[in-house]
Structure 1
């Protein structure tokens, strides 16, 4: 009876549920999102190096770098790489969308960038607003010492003529607000990238283009080909900006952030969100579908902004949950939920090294040992296999969920600090990646998660190993009789 129920459940998932999910995952928009975000990775990783250098966790070195001025140089390098990741997303997503349609793609990427910038008010709040008043930060010197308190700043401003006070406290206009170029503008960049890619492709295929004679060089002709679709998109973008500014006195990026980005980031940054992501990675993989790729593409749209926000807080020396730091970030996903590979299968590797009896388990374990150090576990997924393996299904599903809950909890209760926004490459070995993304406490916690994996997998692996061992013994006996 139980086997019939399991069979029906498996049939429903493989015939009904997975095809629908795969149809969604393979849509043009989702493919553009997945592949387009890849273009941001070099800047995220390189920017993380500059972030570490600008915030060296050794006080003496940090002070020396600050006094020498190099800390400011590293900060600028971080700001113009990791700090503008929404730009890379806006360009990359539109580029990939149009490239996948078989068209000249770079003009679409640049059109997306222009549209993304056009949708925001080109202004920033004057620095005076943040330093004035009793709760203001005050004015500090190069050493970080407050030389004029917030109250003192207000008193001095109050003595000026009203017109001058108004001028000094008005927003600075004619500048790009860099806040929207980081994680805060990521969802808007994704939407713009997808819509621009879609509209550009549609217009080109519909023949909305200027065709020049064959004698005109291709590089010149391509730009005229892009002129009409790019022009239509940018005119429409300008009109959208104008309507929102005149009717609501805000811009599209603010609307998207407040109505969509903030709620979705909040959901992804919850315990429920962490559990759901951890479960779905293993769920997809169990049926042979690349769970890491699917969830990385979908959840990354909200987890990468969480990482960027934490990086900004870390860079400002304000990394704490009270200051708005996120618990679930892209590094939470890469370096805990997928630690040593989807399903956190290091526990299986440990079992094969110390307790396995079957030749199959031992052989696959030796093959998997080195890849596991770099968070790759395809030898286990398909060689053991873990895919559709009822013996190991429970630990494969359960281990990431346990790690997600426990890691969320140790950060939430202040046992370890929030992740600092440093984006360690996903192939960085465990413990080393923990130190990079959260310091020595996070490295210790990451080591503990490896132990948890071993404890969860061990009894199930032992049972499966015994099953394989008995099969091998039976095969050996039969072969012996035939001889």
Structure 2
């Protein structure tokens, strides 16, 4: 068995390292992390406005008074992401990041229609629609930001810059150095928009949304795709690789977009369109003890295992486990490269996620509203906040019990075998 694991490790490690060190995936991950404080702030505002014990009049008043807290953060998330992509990609090329971010953001706006149709059918010009700055514009924003930053950095690296004398203040010198690369990059996007609008009488937002974003988000919201992603996360962690960072860097843009679409529907009092979202993944997988839902594991080790070594690991792991930090049990049990517990490690998240998907689709338990709860919020509290219902907390408790049932026989067997070996 160990030889088989070694062979698999030899094959999987190089591929995982390539993914983990990929420039564009790292930039995408960092871009969403930069936007994370804004997402949290917006989520807190949405939770306050929609507290379940408030009546409709109070909720409307709160929405009028503090609703801009969500409009200025989560509703325009694409703005922060496009700037962040340009910033971090430029930094990765050792180019001034602030100008790369500004050029990427401006390039995205060049592709964005400055008009919208009112509910009465009237065409209004000189305005930006929130949906194009949020969920609907996410993919065109990411594509534009990456492309703009690449063009800007390549031109800068070629030395096509205006160099100022040494006595000029640094801020002025950097601004002139960015002038030619910025003008060329923005001209490219202005030309692209002119071609799309002039020849095809549409805009790139609608084209990308129809051809790329809808199919990808449709695929990402399915149960099979989610189970494959979870399997890969668990499988990579088994070999000591941070599966979440590797896999989530690919899927986070899709899950975040689905989350924003749910939030928009929730704010409008409409039926929530997606079960699988970023909030679902964090609340009903990571939110139950970290990757692999290991809060159940430390509880079994504390209360049901006899060997002192395991009891001690359980005691040490329970406090961080409540806040969904599970490295103590992953490396202390250990879970990494421990073939005796590979089955529950991989199987438990898949079974629980499948169960959650079907009970939510059947309407038995509520779907996450689109509010993103920090992944460190303890079980029950995170479920209530994510779904705006105490039923979300109850579902997490049921999930915990399911994981305990799956893990128990394997941990008891491990405990017995260890005692016999002694």
1:29-428 alignment, distance < 5 Å:
29-60=24-55, 62-66=56-60, 69-129=61-121, 169=122, 171-320=123-272, 325-338=273-286, 339-428=288-377
- Aligned-partner Cα distance in 2 for 1:397–1:91: 37
In the alignment, is the contact (CA less than 8 A) between 2:263 and 2:369 conserved in 1? Answer: yes
Aligned residues of 2:163 and 2:176 also touching (Cα < 8 A) = yes
**Pair 1:460 & 2:399 matched:** no
TM-score for the superposition, normalised by structure 1:
0.84
Determine the structure 1 residue equivalent to 2:378: 429
Aligned residues: 420
Gaps of at least 5 residues in structure 2 are none
CA offset at residue 11 of structure 1? 4.2
- Supply the distance in 2 between the matched residues of 1:55 and 1:319 (Cα, whole angstroms): 15
3-state SS of paired residue (1:184): coil
Shift of 1:459: 0.5
CA distance, structure 2, for counterparts of residue 22 and residue 177 of structure 1: 40
State the distance in 1 between where 2:90 and 2:214 align. Answer: 29
CA-to-aligned-CA distance 1:310-338 (integer Å, 9 cap, x gap): 11111111133xxxx11100011111122
| TM-score normalised by L of structure 2 | 0.96
The answer for unaligned runs of 5 or more in structure 1 is 130-168, 475-483
Distance between the aligned counterparts of 1:295 and 1:374, measured in 2? 22
Q: In 2, are the aligned partners of 1:343 and 1:399 still within 8 Å (CA)?
A: yes
Q: Per the alignment, in what secondary structure is the counterpart of residue 96 of structure 1?
A: helix
Alignment check: 8 A CA contact 2:104 2:144 kept: yes
Q: Would you identify which runs of 4 or more consecutive aligned residues in structure 1 move more than 4 Å?
A: none
Residues 170-201 of structure 1 deviation map (CA, whole Å, 9 limit, x = unaligned): x2111112111111111222222222222222
Shift of 1:303: 0.2
**Aligned counterpart, 1:470:** 420
Structure exhibiting the larger radius of gyration computed from Cα positions: 1
Q: Indicate if the aligned counterparts of 2:292 and 2:349 stay in contact, CA closer than 8 A.
A: yes
Alignment RMSD = 1.5
In the alignment, is the contact (CA less than 8 A) between 2:38 and 2:73 conserved in 1? yes
Name the CA distance, whole Å, in 1 between partners of 2:129 and 2:222.
28
1:391 deviates by: 0.9
Matched, 1:22 2:14: no
Deviates more, 1:219-228 or 1:94-103: 94-103
Distance (whole Å) between structure 1 residues aligned to residue 391 and residue 271 of structure 2: 15
SS of residue paired to 1:127: coil
Shift of 1:16: 2.7
**Whole-angstrom distance in 2 between the partners of 1:19 and 1:335:** 31
CA-to-partner distance for each residue in 1:205-231, whole Å, 9 max, x for gaps? 111211111100001111111111111
The question of whether the paired residues in 2 share the 8 Å contact of 1:54 and 1:315 is answered with no
1:144 alignment counterpart: none
Q: Post-superposition shift, 1:59?
A: 4.0
